[in-house]
Amino acid sequence: MAQLTPVILVTGGTGLVGRAIQHAVASSGPFGRQTGDRWVFVSSSDCDLRDFDATHDLFDRVRPTHVVHLAARVGGLFANIASQADFLRDNIRINDAVLQNSHDFHVRRVPPQGAELARSLTRQVAKVVSCLSTCIFPTHPTYPLSEGQIHAGPPDPSNFEYAHAKRLVDVQNRAYREQYGDVFTAVIPTNVFGPGDNYNLDAAHVLPALMHKCYIAQRDGTRFVISGSGRPLRQFIYSRDLARLIVWALNSYTKVEPLILSPPENDEVSILDAALAVMTAMSYEGEYVQDTSKSDGQYRKPASNAKLVAELAKQGLEFEFTPFQEALQESVDWFVDNYHTDARI
């Protein structure tokens, strides 16, 4: 019997993590492309995933055997507050369209060939990996964050609706597993950064915002302003590291329980140290000041990667995270090279 070619559909395929996955699957191995895989990356311009019928047509065209679900309606703090109902409804619609169509089209983990392949075609077991966010955790969790705390209390009011929409992905995954046996799961990254990020100062997260502000200060000969005291700690993950781990999870992680993807919790970086690292990466030699009138936000929210390490160890694998300064330098170089040409800047 001929081998059935695995076809992996990536929603949100041109965003930060989607771009990183494109980079990851340029290489092979347990964290890269598997022999014969065909990857299809789609963006909102290819399909409005809020539209169930349009999503059905996408699945009908691509006929995926696997799905990496990254697409979401996202925005900064003020966008979330101003459009709470829209963020809730749009993300629920996106997630439902992707997961239900994945079930309807019997997206499945395909074994190599022969009798094993024939048996899999009768099982109709689906494989989808969705990407969640640490915002789904309760406002007052126990640290370090762990996978078992997702539903242990209400999320922060600042992104209450978006967080609940994301939590529902885990609920849906478990429901499809219980009722149909579908292999749907999810991963939860910590603070992601890397080439192709959103550097718009009205919506950017901390690292891309620092890069953009430092670039402007260097260009204009002004002082680099760092918001807040600089004391809060953050656990960053390089988008290309995250991408390699998502590819591994797609191929190897079959449990329904979500999996936190992050460096060790003791790799936290203070906002001030992150800002100083940006200055080094940009060769900025001007002055910096701290605007302590701006809120610091949450002091720290470390997450445990113990489960990830244990799952990798079962396969005799270890994962080497890119050193922070090296990853930051690659991100800064991309930002500078694309400053005048990329729509995300």
Question: How many whole angstroms separate alpha carbon 221 and alpha carbon 224?
Answer: 9
Residue 344 has pLDDT above 60, yes or no: yes
- Residues 315, 176 contacting (CB under 8 angstroms): no
Residue 69 has pLDDT above 50, yes or no: yes
Residue 342 has pLDDT above 70, yes or no: yes
Residue 158 has pLDDT above 90, yes or no: no
Tokens of 311: 């799952």
Packing angle, helices 52-62 and 84-104, rounded to 10:
40
- Looking at domain 7-192+236-265+302-322, which of 3.30.930.10, 3.40.50.720, 1.10.540.10, 3.60.110.10 is its CATH number? 3.40.50.720
Report how far apart, in Å, the C-alpha atoms of 246 and of each of 4, 24, 34 are: 22, 10, 13
When computed from its CA atoms, the radius of gyration of the chain, rounded to whole angstroms, is 20
Amino acid identity of 271? I
Is 180 among the residues known to form the active site? Answer: no
Determine the average pLDDT of the residues in 139-163.
91
Q: Within 13 Å of residue 68, how many CA atoms lie on the same side as its CB?
A: 33
Q: What is the mean pLDDT of the chain?
A: 90
What is the structure's pLDDT at 118? 45
Which residue among the candidates 143, 162, 284, 339 is catalytic per the annotation? 162
Please state the domain extents for the chain: 7-192+236-265+302-322
Determine the average pLDDT of the residues in 111-116.
46
Q: 331, 345, 342, 338: which is closest to 277 by C-alpha?
A: 331
DSSP string of 236-267, one letter each residue: EEEHHHHHHHHHHHHHH---SS-EEE-S-GGG
Angle CA 141–147–150, to nearest 5: 55
What is the percent of the chain where pLDDT is above 70? 90
Residue 294 pLDDT grade (very low, low, confident, very high; cuts 50, 70, 90):
confident
Q: Within 13 Å of residue 137, how many CA atoms lie on the same side as its CB?
A: 21
Report how far apart, in Å, the C-alpha atoms of 44 and of each of 15, 24, 280, 282 are: 10, 22, 36, 33
Q: 262, 239, 240: which is closest to 193 by C-alpha?
A: 239
Question: How many whole angstroms separate alpha carbon 63 and alpha carbon 198?
Answer: 31
